[in-house]
């Protein structure tokens, strides 16, 4: 149906376990997607061989050694056999509802960007993918999982070759995921929020892969550069910008009154680019919006 691609971190410790969990869950999807592991971090080749998936070892990096989003997407699209691409962060577990959702949206909007929110879950180690594993995991998410705000996006399904030139964002840092939604909206590519129809699960982890931990990864120099490349807050789009939402009973288009206040917010953001005095107000409204729209 489509090609999944990701850029794993080194397969060691807790990160190694949760990445193996994620890739294993992708191999159990039906129909089985093509799976591409981009990069040559420790253990990537061995995991690719173990799970019978493809490794694409070459990827461009910035001066800090972090893989670049534009290179990841370019290498994946060159190697992929399918015309539909699915980028996933390497710690994301997928369940059977994912394939059904993608198939349903493509039947109505074959040329679109599909995105969604994730459920955070504590996963301590290797999962046992025995009979009934999916039902058990769904129960655990219902009891312990936490749905993240609309500004955090961990997966994208899109037609191959749609983006054109992507800025050299550092992977694993803020803003590039929001830029992807901004880009789709600017191109007139319909954006579909899959959240109500699928359970996409993020396995929680620490940030020991960065020398300064979470602060370094999320607020360091690479993060500041990503935000600048993305176009600051004016291009910080989110799932609230999606024009469609996939409900359990089908695809729905968003209409006012929900959309009116968010449209006004977007106008204020655009105005703030020429009138910097409005930026504190924009940031304040954005913080309030994150809290207000964070509930399911």
Q: What is the pLDDT of residues 129-175, one digit of tens each?
A: 999 999 999 999 999 999 998 888 999 999 999 999 999 999 988 89
Q: What is the pLDDT of residues 7-57, one digit of tens each?
A: 999 999 999 999 999 999 999 999 999 999 999 999 999 999 999 999 999
Q: Does 280 have pLDDT greater than 90?
A: no
Does one domain contain both 248 and 261? no
Mean pLDDT value across residues 237-245: 90
Q: What is the pLDDT of residues 116-132, one digit of tens each?
A: 999 999 998 899 999 99
Does one domain contain both 172 and 280? no
Does one domain contain both 158 and 198? yes
Does one domain contain both 111 and 78? yes
Mean pLDDT value across residues 238-244: 90
Does one domain contain both 108 and 246? yes
Does one domain contain both 223 and 192? yes
Q: Does 288 have pLDDT greater than 60?
A: no
Domain housing 121 = 3-254
Does one domain contain both 247 and 261? no
Q: What is the pLDDT of residues 61-106, one digit of tens each?
A: 999 999 999 999 999 999 999 999 999 999 999 999 999 999 999 9
Does one domain contain both 215 and 145? yes
Instruction: Provide φ and ψ at 199, rounded to 5°.
Output: -110, 105
Instruction: Provide φ and ψ at 146, rounded to 5°.
Output: -130, 125
Does one domain contain both 120 and 212? yes
Banded model confidence at residue 198, pLDDT cuts 50, 70, 90: very high
Q: Does 114 have pLDDT greater than 90?
A: yes
The pLDDT assigned to 295 comes to 45
Which tokens belong to 184?
């789709």
Number of domains observed in the structure of the chain: 2
Q: Whole-angstrom Cα distance, residue 124 to residue 14? A: 8
User: Please, which residues have CB within 8 angstroms of residue 186's CB and are 6 or more apart in sequence?
Assistant: none
Does one domain contain both 89 and 171? yes
Does one domain contain both 189 and 275? no
Does one domain contain both 203 and 85? yes
């Amino acid at each position: 149906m489509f090609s999944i691609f990701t850029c794993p971190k080194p397969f060691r410790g807790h990160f190694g376990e949760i990445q193996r969990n994620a890739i294993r869950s992708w191999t159990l999807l039906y129909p089985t997607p093509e799976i591409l592991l981009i990069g040559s971090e420790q253990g990537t080749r061995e995991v690719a061989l173990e799970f019978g998936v493809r490794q694409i070892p070459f990827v461009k990096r910035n001066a800090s050694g972090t893989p670049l989003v534009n290179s990841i997407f370019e290498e994946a699209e060159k190697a992929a056999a399918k015309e539909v691409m699915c980028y996933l962060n390497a710690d994301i577990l997928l369940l059977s509802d994912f394939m059904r959702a993608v198939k349903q949206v493509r039947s109505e909007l074959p040329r679109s960007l599909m995105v969604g929110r994730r459920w955070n879950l504590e996963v301590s180690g290797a999962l046992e993918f025995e009979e009934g594993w999916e039902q058990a995991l769904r129960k655990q998410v219902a009891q312990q999982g936490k749905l993240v705000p609309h500004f955090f996006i961990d997966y994208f399904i899109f037609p191959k070759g749609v983006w054109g030139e992507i800025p050299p964002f550092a992977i694993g840092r803020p803003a590039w995921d929001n830029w992807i939604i901004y880009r789709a909206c600017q191109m007139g590519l319909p954006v579909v929020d899959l959240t109500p129809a699928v359970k996409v699960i993020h396995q929680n982890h620490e940030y020991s892969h960065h020398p300064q931990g979470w602060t370094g990864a999320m607020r360091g120099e690479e993060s500041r550069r990503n935000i600048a490349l993305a176009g600051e807050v004016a291009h910080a789009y989110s799932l609230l910008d999606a024009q469609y939402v996939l409900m359990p009973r089908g695809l729905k288009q968003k209409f006012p009154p929900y959309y009116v206040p968010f449209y006004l917010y977007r106008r204020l953001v655009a105005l703030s680019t020429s009138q910097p005095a409005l930026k504190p107000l924009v940031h304040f409204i954005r913080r309030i919006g994150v809290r207000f729209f964070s509930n399911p």
